[in-house]
Structure formats: structure tokens, C-alpha cells
Structure 1
Amino acid sequence: MKQILFKGILGLTALLSFSTYATDTLDDYTLEQVVVFSRHGLRAPLASPTSTLGKVTPNQWPQWDTPASYLTIRGGVLETYFGHYFSQWLVDNKLLNADTCPTEKDVYIYTNSLQRTIATGQYFAVGAFPGCIVPIIHKEKLGTMDPLFFPVIRDDSPEFKQAAINSINQNADSNGIDGLNKKLNKAYRDMANVINYPKSKDCLNNKQCDFIALPTQLIIEKGKEPGITGPLRTGTSIADAFILQYYEGVPLAKVAWGKIKNEQQFKQLVAIKEDYNKVLFGSPVVAKHVAANLVNYINQAFTENDSTIKFTFLVGHDSNVASLFSTMQIQPYNLPNQFETTPIGGKVVFEKWRNNSSGEKFIKIEYFYQSTDQIRNLSPLNRDNPPQKVTLNMTKCPTNAMGLCSFTTFKQVMDDISK
């Protein structure tokens, strides 16, 4: 097991210190435990002349100071802001104490073993616990996927493969992936025009010049993530690059070489990426399979014993969020002021609360995330300028007016999923 001891930028002597403003708390309830699953922060796109992105357009992709797929400096600052807000929220809700560094019983930060996930954990710790030595745990060699965060196929039986393919097609559209591709026809055509696909290397060298007609094939193979070829996959890579440019603060008029004319067109192109995650990683058969380790980990984290940690912070990927939500049967939701449904740096927050009068325990699940403007404007987060927040609902764990569902029911549902 590798441990990175990350020292806060303010030095070892600086401790937590907070003033008191209006707090975001539940009256008559005590917060007992929190488990957060975070998508990594803002990263550089996977763009180079030899990459998929480099071959689909004759245009030169912008060069970033940060290596491809690494967390950017801006991403680090944004994550530090998020950590700062969380430290205030945890103190306001009396889960952690102000003016003291957390112990190993208080805080556990565990990330996938890629640079962008490890760095997200590091920057979060700097913002949340400045001056404190907080271990950032990753368990594999740098650049290697940890099984907890790796949405990989582990079953090579023909029966599972067919069930997975059927599930993906059913989740895509009543007419399967072909039906979804037809629905996205206009978005694909816009994408092809924006990138000038007819003059790309792929078109000129491979004589495949119809972006919409790129061959589509579902890939379900043991040891690999669920995959797909064709316009949905290629369009997702391109949309990802565009939205990362936008998050990095590039004016919309200059995103995609100035070819995107308005916000509506931008949203339409970004929606390709949303469909990709929903279809591949949110299909029920695939989701339950690839999210099994993560569901079990979160479930076990809420097992009450002497080793229970007050605040657990996990860092993975949007594919993890999509499969987790599908498996847990999180009901459809909307994130105001965001283009994405699993936004960069977004945090799924599982909160265990106790009613002070009855002693009954509850779970509340919330999505904390930065709005598009908060990301673009590099807005500090604090009590006066909090992140966006939406309460999530599990189909099999009904919530009351405060968004709380029975902890006993939650555990039973998670136990059933984990079988």
C-alpha cells in the first residue's frame, strides 16, 4: 500500500480556524458519519496529433501546460476551494472540531491510483485541513487502475456478454444503439461540421468520411471497460475536450476554434457525452457488475463498529458515478446551472444522521457540485458562496420531507445489491 503524506501549503503549524455564519444544518439531528464519492477535478484533455482527437480534425488542438489527463493547476485550485467549504460544513455540523487536525479515526482519503485522482485528494486536503498531515491513500502503482475504481468486465461467459449487450441496447433506446444514434443525428452532424471532419486524417487516409456512419460495435471483454466504437464514442471524446476548454476559462467564442455559435449548440454537443456514460455504464446489467466493489465498500463503510471513520473521501471517475447511481436506483435528477449530470469535481455525499429525540438513524444523499460559472470564474467556495447542492432519492429507500431515508432500509438495500 502506498501512502502520500501531503503537507498543507500553510505549514505544519496552521490549524483549522472558522468564524460563525449561517450554517447548513439539520435542526434536532446529529451528523454521525459522512462518506463522499468524488469525481476527480478538472483535467487536461487526451489530445495529441496521434490520439483519436488528433485524427478526427485537421485543426490544431490547443496545447495545455498540463500533460494529457493530468489534473490542471486550475483544477487543483477549484478542489482546494471545495475542501475549504467542506471543512466549514463538517465543523458547522459538529462532525469534526475546529482548530485541531483530524486523526486517522476522523478522516480517510482514498483515491484511484491515477495522477488526476491522487492530486484531487491532495488539493482537497490542502483546502480542508491546511497545515495538517493527512495521508492520501492509493494502493496501486501510479498510473494503474485500482480495482475499487476500475469499471472492468470480470465475467467472460457468453451468457453474461449477451446479457450486457442486451442491457446496453435496452438502456440506449427502444431501437437500441442504432436508435440512439438516429436521435443524435443532428448533434453528430454539427460535431462533424465543427471539427471539419471531411478534411481529417481519418477521412483522407481511411476513406471513412461520414462521421455518422462510423462503424458501431459494442465491446464486452473480460479485463476491459465496457466499450463502443462509432460516432457515440468519438463524439464523446470531442465533447469532453470542448467542455474541458470551457471549464478552463476559455471564452465560448474561442472554444472549438470559434465554431460553436451559442450555448444551446454547446449543450447539444456536450449531451453526446452524457448519453455515452448513461448507456455504457448506467445499463443495469453492466452497472451492477462494474460497480460491485464500490457498492460493497460504501456499504461496509457504514457498518457501525469501533473502527468506523467519521469522514471518508473517495476519488474516482464519472463512469463510477454512472454505474453507482444505476445500481442503487437513484431516481432521475437535474443539476441546475450545470451542463453535466456527473460534473467534474462533483461529490456524491452520503450522510448518516441521528434524530436527537427518537435516536432513529437516517441516510441523506446529496450531490455537491460547482456550477459551470463557479468553475469558469474560479469562484472560492465558503458559507457565503456554497457549491450547488441537490438531494438524491433512491427508489427503494423513500425519503421524508427533509430528504432523509431510513438507515435500516438503506443498509438492507445495499446488502441486497452486494449479494
Structure 2
Amino acid sequence: MRCLRRNTTLAAWCLPLLFSVAQSEAHSRYILEKVVVVARHGVRSPTDDRQYASLTGQQWPRWNVPAGNLTGHGYAGMAQQGHYWRQQWQRLGLVLPLTNSCPTSSVISLWAAPDQRTQATGDALLDGLFPGCGLTAEHSSANEDPLFDTVKMGIAHPNRERVLAQIHRRIDDNSPLSLHYRAAIGDFRKALCAPSSSSCAFLDAPWQLSITDNGQVKLSGPLSHAASMAESVRLAYSDNRPLSEVAFGNAPDARAVAALMVLHAAKYDLVSDTPEYAKHGGSLLMTQIVNALSDAPGRYAPRLKKSIVIFVGHDTNIAQLQTMLGFDWQLAEYPRNDIPPGGSLEFLRFRDSQTGEAFIQLRFAARSSDQWRALTPLSTKNPMFAAQYGKAGCFNDEGKSLCPLPRFIARAKQEMVSDGATMPLYR
């Protein structure tokens, strides 16, 4: 076994040296030749929990890393995930040219959003994929990146009236949203609020919808705080914190944690999954995915023509792509279309060895909360939970839903807009 200690306070870990020879499914007609992944970062600390105590009347636990940073547990988990990916991809036929056990220049490109948690996640994935090679994530030198922050940077220009109309179609204006989520609010209050009449008063405020000047949709009121707190509970459970620090001892297992995620899921159901909003926020990233899958020429071709192309971003980025493609999933104990830490959209390009045609298998894969908590080693016998995309024209082969590449790309391009098309990227 080769042991690797990175120059970081996040983690020190060991992984078995991986074989350079692809262990493919030799009997399969369809051979994996390229992989494009959009991954969410691993387990992090809460991004901003300074108001939690005053809002809930409870003293929330402290974390040993700065706000929003990847934890040591999160780093180790994402290194495991990189190791698992390589095992699975080579089993499906992906050939990875190596020199002294490390990838040649044609093998991999990994670009991360400019946050500590995404950069560190990228480093962890690379350590798992190619241990001992010292690869590190590339990222923008600026605080924001057009690929991941299209809306936030004001690059996207969604039609405000269309966004509001699409959201209101999912909201019954004659019935306050608080009534739809009454049970979830009650569970949230019972688990996270101090037993006083004044604690969690924010839950009684009206739910209000607004759009900022740069096009960001906000559903303010109870949802903004409750969604953040619920995610913090899940992060504490996934990070293997003592159960006394997970919802103050009121969420003893993964199902109890999932029950508190209803209000977090509502944020995506009601706002982030809006088609008009998603396509303006996700088209820049989708363009890179399409160009990588088709090996398109252009100024970014040297980066996108690698055998493995990985983008490490946030759940909002994956939600936008998921909405554009009309891809739905339900994994483990998570809410519908939930994107937990490390959750990944995987675009696997296969080649038909008989006809030469190209096909795409699109999966969304994620660990369960218990797999995260225990850092359960991932393998074929103990895989990540996964759902497959299967629209018209796709077919099943040995458990893989395969979609003709031209039809898949045409479907993606139908949803893409030109916002930010002339923006310089990878800087």
C-alpha cells in the first residue's frame, strides 16, 4: 500500500495503488471512452451560522474549520469517491495512459469553483484518482467564476416576468405556502427551536418572492433561514459529529435528518428548479459539457478533449443542469432531486464496438448520509446510490441506459441560451 500525506491540515490518508491497466468488461459491446462530471463539493461546515442562536434560542455546535470550508472528514470522503470512480470507469473500459503510475497530459482536467471547499474537494478527488501524483485542482484567480456564478455575477439575463410566472404556476396563490408546509414547519420547530414562545419567531413570517437587480430569485421569510439550518443538521450528521450535536440530539438517524430537509427541498422545488432561471444560470456550464462530450474544436478544446473532464461546483449548478435536462431522481433517504455533498452528474460516453456510434449514459450518483457518516469504502458491492436518465431514444444495455450522443446533445442545446457566450473562461 502506498500512503500519501498531503500538505494540508484537512486529512492524512492511505489508498491502495491502483493498477494502470484498465480492467474492463471485456464482453460488453459498449466501451467507455470519455467521462465528464459535475460534482458538488464534499461535507463542509455551515456557511453562515452566526444568526442561528438568536433565531432559535439554541447554542449551535462549533466547527473546527472556518465557515463554509471542507472538513477533514469531507476531504477523506471525496478522496474515497475519486478512488471509486477510477475503479468503476476502468471496469467499463476507460483506458488511462500513465507514466510512472501518473496520468499523461491527455488524461484529465479538473476545474473547481473559486471557494476553499470546491478547490479542496478537487484536490481530494485527484488524490483518490491518482494517488501520489501531486495533482491539484485548477481554479479562477478571481473570487467569482462565470461557469459557476453566472447569475450572481449578473451575466445571466432571465426574463423576470417569465420566471415569476413559472414559479407562481407551482404556488397556489389562494393558499399560503405556510399551510402547504405546516407539518414540516412543526417538525422543524420541535427539533431545532428552544421551548419558549419567542424562539423561532421567524417561522411565522410570510413567505415572500423577489428578484434582485442581477436576476437572483429569492424566496425570503422562513425558508431562507430554515433551509440553511436544515442543511447544517445534515452536514453535522454526515461529518460524524456526536449525535448530541445533530439537531440537539433530536435526529438520531438518517431518516430523522431527512425529515428536517423538507424545507430545504422546498427552496429548490419552488425557486431553483424554475426552467427560465435554470437555463440562464446553467448554459455556460452546459456548453462546456456539450463541447467536451463532442470533442468540439475551439479555444478550450485542449482542456475539454481530455479523457476525464471534471467540474467541481455547488448544488445550485447541478440543480440548473438537472432542470435544463428534465432529469429527476430519488436516492436513498433524500428528498426528491436532492443534491447532497459529493453528489455528481456523470456523463459517460460509450462507443459501440460494432458500429462506432457514440452513446451517453447520464447518471446522478451520491452517497447516503450513513455512507458519509461512516466513510464507508465504496466499491461494486457497496456502490454510491444512483439514478439514470432515460428520455426518448435511450435504451438499456446490461443495466446502462444509453442515449445516442447526437440526440442527447440536440436535447441539451434546445435549453441553452447565449448569456455569457463571449465571456473569457478558465482564468
TM-score interval, normalised by the smaller of the two chains: 0.7 to 0.9
Q: Which residue of 2 aligns with 1:411?
A: 409
Q: Which residue of 1 aligns with 2:110?
A: 109
Q: Which residue of 2 aligns with 1:3?
A: none
Alignment partner of 1:334 is 2:325: no
Q: Which residue of 2 aligns with 1:164?
A: 163
Shift of 1:281: 1.2
Shift of 1:365: 0.5
Paired with 1:285 and 1:16, the residues of 2 have a C-alpha distance of 46
- Post-superposition Cα deviations, 1:102-152, rounded to whole Å, max 9, x if no partner, equal 1232100001000000000001111111121424110133xx231111151
Q: Which amino acid aligns with 1:235?
A: A
Change (3 A) 1:58 1:177: farther
Paired with 1:160 and 1:218, the residues of 2 have a C-alpha distance of 15
**Which SS does the other structure have where 1:403 is aligned?**
strand
- Post-superposition Cα deviations, 1:301-335, rounded to whole Å, max 9, x if no partner, equal 123257411100110111111111111111x3221
Q: Which residue of 1 aligns with 2:293?
A: 302
Q: Aligned runs of 1:187-206 on 2, under 5 Å?
A: 187-196=184-193, 199=196, 203=198
**Which SS does the other structure have where 2:138 is aligned?**
strand
Q: Which residue of 1 aligns with 2:355?
A: 358
Change (3 A) 1:411 1:258: same
Q: State which of 361, 374, 378 in structure 1 corresponds to 2:375.
A: 378
Q: Aligned runs of 1:99-248 on 2, under 5 Å?
A: 100-141=101-142, 144-150=143-149, 152=151, 154=154, 160-171=159-170, 173=171, 175=172, 179-196=176-193, 199=196, 203=198, 210-223=201-214, 225-248=216-239
Paired with 2:189 and 2:386, the residues of 1 have a C-alpha distance of 35
Paired with 2:335 and 2:25, the residues of 1 have a C-alpha distance of 25
Provide the alpha-carbon RMSD of the alignment: 3.1
Q: Aligned runs of 1:64-75 on 2, under 5 Å?
A: 64-75=63-74
Q: TM-score, normalised by structure 2?
A: 0.83
Shift of 1:407: 0.5
Shift of 1:266: 3.3
Alignment partner of 1:279 is 2:270: yes
Gaps of 5+ in 2: 8-14, 418-427
Q: Which residue of 1 aligns with 2:94?
A: 94
Paired with 1:257 and 1:217, the residues of 2 have a C-alpha distance of 29
Q: Are the aligned partners of 2:280 and 2:416 in contact in 1 as well (CA < 8 Å)? A: no
Paired with 1:380 and 1:156, the residues of 2 have a C-alpha distance of 40
Alignment partner of 1:367 is 2:364: yes
Change (3 A) 1:252 1:22: farther
Change (3 A) 1:86 1:252: same
Q: Are the aligned partners of 1:352 and 1:362 in contact in 2 as well (CA < 8 Å)? A: yes
Paired with 1:165 and 1:198, the residues of 2 have a C-alpha distance of 37
Q: Which residue of 1 aligns with 2:420?
A: none
**Which SS does the other structure have where 1:78 is aligned?**
helix
**Which SS does the other structure have where 1:418 is aligned?**
coil
Paired with 2:331 and 2:182, the residues of 1 have a C-alpha distance of 25
Change (3 A) 1:338 1:185: closer
Q: Which residue of 2 aligns with 1:266?
A: 257
**Which SS does the other structure have where 1:291 is aligned?**
helix
Change (3 A) 1:106 1:250: same
Paired with 1:61 and 1:190, the residues of 2 have a C-alpha distance of 18
Paired with 2:334 and 2:216, the residues of 1 have a C-alpha distance of 27
Q: Which residue of 2 aligns with 1:27?
A: 28
Q: Are the aligned partners of 2:24 and 2:94 in contact in 1 as well (CA < 8 Å)? A: no
Q: Are the aligned partners of 1:112 and 1:315 in contact in 2 as well (CA < 8 Å)? A: yes
- Post-superposition Cα deviations, 1:20-39, rounded to whole Å, max 9, x if no partner, equal 99867881112121100000
**Which SS does the other structure have where 1:350 is aligned?**
strand
Change (3 A) 1:124 1:264: closer
Q: Are the aligned partners of 1:281 and 1:287 in contact in 2 as well (CA < 8 Å)? A: yes
Shift of 1:52: 3.1
Shift of 1:8: 5.9
Change (3 A) 1:410 1:19: closer
Shift of 1:71: 0.2
Q: Are the aligned partners of 1:248 and 1:376 in contact in 2 as well (CA < 8 Å)? A: yes
- Post-superposition Cα deviations, 1:166-219, rounded to whole Å, max 9, x if no partner, equal 222223x3x05965432111111222233326759xx58xxxx64443132223
Q: Which amino acid aligns with 1:309?
A: K
Identity of matched residues, %: 28
Q: Are the aligned partners of 1:41 and 1:76 in contact in 2 as well (CA < 8 Å)? A: yes
Paired with 2:344 and 2:383, the residues of 1 have a C-alpha distance of 13
Q: Which amino acid aligns with 1:295?
A: M
**Which SS does the other structure have where 1:164 is aligned?**
helix
Q: Which residue of 1 aligns with 2:311?
A: 314
Paired with 1:406 and 1:60, the residues of 2 have a C-alpha distance of 53
Change (3 A) 1:224 1:246: farther
Q: Which amino acid aligns with 2:59?
A: Q
Q: Which amino acid aligns with 2:132?
A: G
Change (3 A) 1:54 1:177: farther
Change (3 A) 1:267 1:25: farther
